[in-house]
Amino acid sequence: MKTMQRLEWVNQTIITEFILLGFGEVRDLQILLFVVFLTVYIMTMAGNLIILALVVTDQHLHTPMYFFLGNLSCLETCYSSTILPRMLASFLTENQSVSVWGCIVQFWAFGFLAATECNLLAAMSYDRYVAICRPLHYSVLMNFKLCLQLVAGSWFGGFVINSILLIFMAQLTFCGHNVIEHFFCDFIPMMKLTCSDAHQVQLALTIMASFCTLPSFILTITSYVYIINAVLRIPSATGRQKAFSTCSSHLVVVSIFYGTIIIVYVLPKTKILKELNKFFSVFYTVLTPLVNPLIYSLRNKEVKEAWKRIVSKCKSNAVM
């Protein structure tokens, strides 16, 4: 059976570029979609860069929590830029083609940043666990050296894992039809178009996800189980509200990010989920980077105060 399949593939032309259909099925709304996604991209970049600038310049935010948040904002600016600029260009030019190598590199960048985000969210959840469950030991446990190690490990782990996967994917050959029914180069749609044996790549992805993403997810969930348990044991309602407010923003971000990823990649592909796959993909690739700065700025008193100090300083400098 495998020999027959290989012979069929040999008779087909090896392709050098893919066609990303994106949202081509709604051609009448291309201009509207361009405006919507351009607005989202501008707001995402502005929001995350503002938070990054506040964390770097305001000494009141030089704490472990905001050190992680600054790295998350930096990551989100890169995350959005791997997908949205190419999508926006296709809306204007209607050029939906992308080279095979360009598609592989986009997937590598997306995978690298997504894995890094999983690690960072886990580090942030551990930080909140120590702050709420072991407050007396917080300054000792969450020292600068540990924070630096957690952040460096998050970036390095995501980079190495996806670079190994890139080596496997570079050996694949693609032939037959070249249409990807998605708005970015995701793993599953690409594997459907390969005429090589993809079992090794799929096995490599499974193993790497098990070593990288799964432990981060388990650590995040475990941290919040302990956090919620500790908050519920606080006798006063005011105390519970104050304790929970320090981690509620992060919990919302984690829920959105992991919730949509589980729907897209983990749940069985029913007919309804297949039809909504592109919709849910927009959540974790486009909307999550936008929502992060909004959630952390609108629900965080310290970020608001840091913003007011920066604005006040700028006004005083302008008067002088």
Q: Which of 5-19, 177-191, 227-241 has the highest mean pLDDT?
A: 177-191
- Is 80 in contact with 41 (CB distance < 8 Å)? yes
Q: Domains for the chain: give ranges and CATH numbers.
A: 15-319 (1.20.1070.10)
Reported confidence tier of residue 7, pLDDT bands at 50, 70, 90 = very low
d(CA 150, CA 123): 6
Helix (H) or strand (E) holding 180: strand 179-180
pLDDT at residue 33 tops 60: yes
pLDDT tens string 107-156: 999 999 999 999 999 999 999 899 888 888 898 999 999 999 999 999 99
pLDDT tens string 217-271: 889 989 988 988 888 887 877 777 777 776 777 787 888 888 878 777 776 666 6
Better-scored residue on pLDDT, 86 or 317: 86
User: Degrees (nearest 5) of the Cα angle 157, 284, 71?
Assistant: 45
Query: CB burial class (10 A; 0-12, 13-18, 19+) of residue 188?
Result: middle
Reported confidence tier of residue 71, pLDDT bands at 50, 70, 90 = very high
Phi and psi of 237, rounded to 5°? -65, -35
- With a CB cutoff of 8 Å and minimum separation 6, the contacts of 98 are 17, 18, 20, 86, 106, 185
